[in-house]
């Protein structure tokens, strides 16, 4: 293959906390200069892409206006515009609005569930009734928990699980480890799967999503999964690298 594009996970791959992973900015900058298309892909759905872009720029990372793909963006890209009911925050609502969706509880053809810090029984009840009456059940991503500086908090997957339990229906999932978010990403890049490498630190989400989309993957040991986890991983990466120096060597061989 000749490398034309690179898909990068964010937390644990490009940055940790408020700082870029060592070597990330330099490798990404060099690839940009050589014409490689870069996309940053995240399951986090509550923040608009432009907010994520500002964060990346503040860390010294190259990031163009269209370089961030969130699971909210992928959800809006995948579904046909129409009336929907939304459990989610600004990032999802803005992504849907930009694609012509209308949030209408009474006429909703789909229930879209995402991260929502104001989730409550009333929202659960509305979602359950709509799904029980035939509305499509869609989840931006399945991440059950988020790791913050002071501990673990519920993620989108916990809310999705509540809606699934109440309605008796399993959702269509857009984000990693499913392939749909990568399908959206490839379209935005104008590239095919065999022209791209996906890089991620999570053997449960990043690497399976790449495999499902037919994209070769590099597992980088800068985040959540460890080298020991490889032994039990259901999907194996094409490459395993310890850091960005090793990733550079792999990618140089593909250019």
How confident is the model over 90-104, as pLDDT tens digits?
999 999 999 999 999
CATH architecture of the domain with range 75-173: 3-Layer(aba) Sandwich (3.40)
At residue 151, the pLDDT reads: 79
201 is a catalytic site residue: no
9: annotated active-site residue: yes
Residue 169: closest CA among 207, 199, 203, 131: 131
User: 5-43+176-252 maps to which CATH number?
Assistant: 3.40.50.1000
Between the alpha carbon of residue 242 and those of residues 31, 199, 205, 251, the distances in Å are 19, 12, 18, 14
pLDDT in tens, 52-84: 999 999 999 999 999 999 999 999 999 999 999
Residue 4 and residue 132: Cα distance in Å, rounded?
45
Average confidence (pLDDT) over 99-113: 97
Domains 5-43+176-252 and 75-173 share a fold: yes
Per domain, the residue ranges of the chain are 5-43+176-252, 75-173
The pLDDT tens digits of the residues spanning 3-40 come to: 999 999 999 999 998 999 999 999 999 999 999 999 99
Q: Does the pLDDT at position 112 exceed 80? A: yes
Number of helices (H), then strands (E), belonging to the chain: the values are: 9, 15
Write down the residue that tokens 């499509």 correspond to.
Answer: 136
Q: Which of 221, 248, 208 is nearest to 36 (CA)?
A: 248
Question: Which position among 9, 73, 77, 201 bears the catalytic label?
Answer: 9
pLDDT over threshold 80, residue 147: no
Which whole number is the average pLDDT over 227-233? 96
Residue 152: is its pLDDT beyond 90?
no
Mean pLDDT of the chain: 97
């Amino acid at each position: 293959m000749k490398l034309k594009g690179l898909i990068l996970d964010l937390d644990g791959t490009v940055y940790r906390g408020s700082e870029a992973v060592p070597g990330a900015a330099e490798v990404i900058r060099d690839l940009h200069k050589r014409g490689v298309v870069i996309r940053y892909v995240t399951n986090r759905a509550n923040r608009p892409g432009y907010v994520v872009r500002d964060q990346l720029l503040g860390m010294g990372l190259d990031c163009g206006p269209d370089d961030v793909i969130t699971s909210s963006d992928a959800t809006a890209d995948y579904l046909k515009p129409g009336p929907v009911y939304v459990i989610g925050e600004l990032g999802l609502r803005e992504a849907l609005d930009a694609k012509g969706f209308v949030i209408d509880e009474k006429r909703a053809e789909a229930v879209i569930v995402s991260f929502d810090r104001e989730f409550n029984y009333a929202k659960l009840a509305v979602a359950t009734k709509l799904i029980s009456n035939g509305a499509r059940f869609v989840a931006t991503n399945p991440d059950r928990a988020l790791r913050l500086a002071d501990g673990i908090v519920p993620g989108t997957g916990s809310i999705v699980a509540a809606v699934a339990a109440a309605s008796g229906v399993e959702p269509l999932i857009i984000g990693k480890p499913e392939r749909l978010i990568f399908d959206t990403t490839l379209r935005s890049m104008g590239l095919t799967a065999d022209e791209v490498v996906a890089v991620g630190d999570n053997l449960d989400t990043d690497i399976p999503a790449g495999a499902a989309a037919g994209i070769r993957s590099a597992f980088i040991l800068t985040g959540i999964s460890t080298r020991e986890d490889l032994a039990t991983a259901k999907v194996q990466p094409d490459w395993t690298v310890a850091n960005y120096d090793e990733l550079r060597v792999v990618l140089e061989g593909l250019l």
